[in-house]
Amino acid sequence: MAGASRRGTRINYLINPAEEPVIPRVVTPFPAPKLMELSMFQGEHKESLYWGTYRPHVYFGVRARTPLSLLTGLMWLGVNDGRYSMRHVCQNSDELKTYGWTHHNGRDYGHQVLVDQEFTLTTSFLKYKEKDSGYGGDWAVRIEAQSDKHSEEMSELVHLFFYVADEGGAAIDLGGGVMNIRDDSILAFGSRDDVGNWQLHLGSKDDREIHYSGFKTLHIHNLSDLVIANLGTQARKFNRLQLSDTSDHSPNILVFQISARIPFRADVVFVSGSSGHNSRMEERFRSLTGNSLTSRLNEKKNQFDDKFARCFNISDELNPEAKVVSKAALGNLLGGIGYFYGQSKISPLPSSNVKLGDNFISYWPAELYTAVPSRPFFPRGFLWDEGFHQLLIWRWDVHISLDIIGHWLDLMNIEGWIPREQILGAEALSKVPAEFVLQYPSNANPPTLFLVLRDMMCSIKKNQFAATERNEISIFLDRAFIRLEAWFNWFNTTQSGKIASSYFWHGRDNTTIKELNPKTLSSGLDDYPRASHPSEDERHLDLRCWMQFAADCMHSISKFLEKENEIGKEYGLTAKQLSDFDHLNKMHFDFTHGAYFDYGNHTEQVHLSWRLIERAGEYPIRELVREVSEKPVLRLVPHVGYVSLFPFMGRLIPPDSWILEKQLDLISNGSTLWTNFGLRSLAKTSSLYMKRNTEHDPPYWRGPIWMNMNYLILSSLNHYSKVDGPYRETAKTVYTDLRDNLIRNVVRNYNQTGYLWEHYDQKKGKGKGARLFTGWTSLVLLIMAEAYNEC
C-alpha cells in the first residue's frame, strides 16, 4: 500500500527491485493519531461543515469537504473594452469594481456582492438540514442581477452559467427543466455514495432562456476554456451567443446558460437523500426558493449581525462606514475558507536516498481545510498567514478554528516539519507560478499557530469559554501536544545558530548575483534586509523571538494539561533563557542606534548595476547584477524596521527600561517608522528603504505598511499602556494615534476602491499589492474591537 500511495512520486529509489520501496522520511507522515480523527470532529460537527463555499478561487462555488466532491460554480459574461469576457476564476484582469462577502458565518449562510461594470450581481448562500435530507443537508443559492444604468454593450441582457460537476467522473443526468417540460424545475440529477440521490433545481418567476452543454473531463480547472470554446463555435456557426444544447456521452459536468433581462433573480437549489421525484423533495425545494428563502436569508443575516455585536463589541465611537468594513473583513475571511486535497511537491534533501528522475518528491495525499490570504491572488493555504487568520476566527467560532488548526498539524511529517505553502490539487496548482511550487524541507515559516493557541490559553485562564468548549480545547491540546512538541523541536534543531540561544532562517541564497539582498522567504518577510552575505553565522532576531514565544506557549499548555514533568519544565527554562533581557541585548542590541538588529556577515556597500551579460551562442543582454565594493564583516545589521521591534512585540522589554523609551521613539518618529497611515516596514533611514531587490522585484517589506505587524505592535502598545512604568502614558498616546491612523486609512481605501489590500503605501496610504486581501488585513476588525492578548 505504501508504494501505491506514491504513484505521483517522480523519483527512482535506490533499492533492489525485489524489495519494498523505502519511503523517504521527508514524505513520511508523523506517527501519531491524527487530530481530525478526534470524536469532536466527527458526527454532527463534520456533517454540519460538509457543504460550503469552499472554492475561494472562483467568484462563487460550492463543494463538499471530501476529496472527490460534487461541486458547483457560477460564471457570467461581462464586458471588457466593448468585448464579452467570461468571469469565473477570481482575477484582477476582470476589473470588477468590487466583490466579496459582506456577511458570512463560516457554516450555513453568506451574502456576496459583485459589481461588474454597469451591473451588480449578488449571491446569497443558505444551507438547511431536514430529517430526510442527505448527508450534509440541502442548500440554495440566490443569484440576483441588477443595474442602475442599462449599458448598450450589455443589451440589458445578462448571461449566467451555473454548472455542476463530479470530480470523480461519475455521470450526471440532464433534468427535464432544461427541456422546458412544464412544472419540471430539475436541471440535473444523479447519485453519490456520500449523499445518496440528489437533484439540482432552478426556481425563478422571471422570464429566462436556458441552454446547456455537457462535458466529460476530469480537468475541471479548465472548464472556463471549454465553455468559451463551445460559445465560440456556436457564434461562428449560427451567430448566436448560447451553448450548443449538446453533451458528451455520460458527462460528469453540466453547464446551464441562463439568459434573462436585468433585473433578474433565480434560486438554484440542491436537495439530496430521497429517491425519485416525490412530493417531499418538491416540498423541500419549494421551502428554499421564493419568499421562504427570502425569509430564511433575512433571519440568517440578523443572526450574523447579533453574533457579530456579541463577539466583537465594537465601540459606538466608530462611524457606520467602519462597521461596514469590519463585517466585510470577517465575512470575506470566513467566506474565503476552502477545502483542498492533493499532494505537495517537495524538493528532496541531499540526504534522501533517492536518485532524481525529476526535481520533486510527492507528499502523501492529504486534505486541508483552511482560510486563504486572497481569493484572486493567494487562494490556498499559507502556514504563517493562518495563525493570523485564526486570531479572528477562534473569536467567532472556536470549533471551526480548532478544525483548521487540526488540519494543518496533521500535515506534519515524521521530522516535525510542515510545508509552508499548500498547493493541493489541480485547481490550486493552476494559480501558482512554477518557481513557487516546490516546498523545501530545510526551510521554516513563523510558527504563528502558537498565536491563537496562546489566545485560547489566555481566555481559559479568564474563564471566557463555556465548560463544554473548555473541555474540547483540552482534548484537542492533549492530542496535539506531541505534534506541537515535534514542531518546536524541529525548529530548535534545524534552525539553531552557532551559539546558544541563537537562530537563523534557512534557505537564503548565498550564491546569487541578481539579488541586492538575498531574500529570506522562510521568515515570511521576504525581502526585508538581512546580512548582505548569508552564512551560518547569522542570528535572526525575529526567529529568536518566535522561539521564545513558542516555548512560553508550550510551557503554558503543558501546565494546563498538567504535564508538569521534565518536558514541561524544559519549555519553561527555554522561554526564560530566550527572554533573558541582558543576553538578548548582548546578542542583538546596538547601543549607538538604540535599536535591535540581526547579526551576520554584512556590508552596506552592495548595489545593483546594469551590465551586458554574454552567454555562449546568444546575443549579449543587459541585466541588473549585484556588485559588492567592500568586504563583509561579522556585525549587527543596521536596518531599523519590523524586525527591530520583535522584542517589543514579544513584551520582552521591562516596562521601566530606557530601551522601551527608545522603542517608542522609533515607532513614533516620522523619520523612521511612523506615517499617518500605519507603521512602515522599514525605516526611511535604511540604505535599502524602497529599493528594488532585483530587476523584477519591487520593494515588498522595505517600506509598505502591513496590517499583521501593525496589529502585533498595537497589541504590545496596549500592554505597555496598562502596566506600571515611566512610559505608560507615552505608550497610550502612541497606541491611540496608531490605531486611529490604521482604521481611518483602511476604511478610506475600502470606500474608494471596494477592497481590503495586501499592504498600504507608506507615502499616501493607498492600497497596494493583492486586492481582496482579507487574510491578515482583516485584523483591522480586531483593531476596531481592541481585541488583543492581555495575559
Secondary structure (3-state) at 189 = strand
CA 269, distance to chain mean position in Å, is: 29
- Beta strands 186-192 and 173-174: pairing type? antiparallel
Q: Which of 160, 58, 53 is nearest to 772 (CA)?
A: 58
Find the angle CA(644)-CA(650)-CA(656) to the nearest 5 degrees: 90
CA distances from 513 to 184, 536, 610, 625 (A): 67, 19, 12, 6
Among candidate residues 128, 121, 163, the one with its CA nearest the CA of residue 143: 121
DSSP string, 398-430: HHHHHHHHHHHHTT-BTTS---SEE--SHHHHT
Neighbours of 552 (CB within 10 A): 20
Taking phi first (over 0 means left), then psi (-120 to 50 degrees means alpha), and beta for anything else, what does residue 156 get?
left
Q: Which positions ≥6 away from 152 have C-beta within 8 Å?
A: none
Q: Is 313 left (phi over 0), alpha (psi -120 to 50) or beta?
A: left
Measured CA to CA, the distance from residue 312 to residue 325 in angstroms comes to 13
Nearest by Cα to 459 from 519, 410, 394, 545: 394
397 is catalytic: no
Q: Which DSSP state fits 341?
A: E
Phi then psi for residue 34, to 5 deg, are -75, 145
List of residues 6+ apart from 788 with CB closer than 8 A: 714, 715, 718, 719, 782
Q: Return d(Cα 203, Cα 288) in angstroms, integer.
A: 9
**C-beta of residue 790 within 8 angstroms of C-beta of residue 457:** no
User: Helix, strand or coil for residue 3?
Assistant: coil
C-alpha angle 501/505/508, rounded to 5°?
Answer: 145
Which residue type does 586 have? K
Residue owning grid cell 470532529: 41
Residues 6+ apart with CB under 8 A from 452: 387, 390, 391, 394, 401, 405
| Cα dihedral sign, 400-125-328-709 | positive
Q: What are the grid coordinates assigned to 768, written together?
A: 497596494
**Which one from 116, 367, 758, 761 is the annotated catalytic residue?**
758
| CA distances (Å), origin 361, targets 21, 183, 189, 432, 440 | 14, 54, 39, 18, 11
Say if residues 255 and 245 touch (Cβ distance below 8 Å).
Answer: no
Report the chain's terminal Cα–Cα distance, integer Å. Answer: 48
In 3D space, the residue among 400, 433, 321 whose CA is nearest the CA of residue 748 turns out to be 321
Annotation marks residue 627 as catalytic: no
Q: Are 24 and 348 in contact (CB under 8 A)?
A: yes
Distance CA 295, CA 646 (A): 50
Radius of gyration of the chain from its Cα atoms, rounded to whole angstroms: 27
Out of 526, 537, 665, 697, which one is annotated catalytic?
A: 526
- Residue tagged 526551510 (cell numbers): 443
CB-facing half-sphere around the CA of 107: CA atoms within 13 A: 20
Give the residue numbers annotated as catalytic, written as ranges: 526, 758
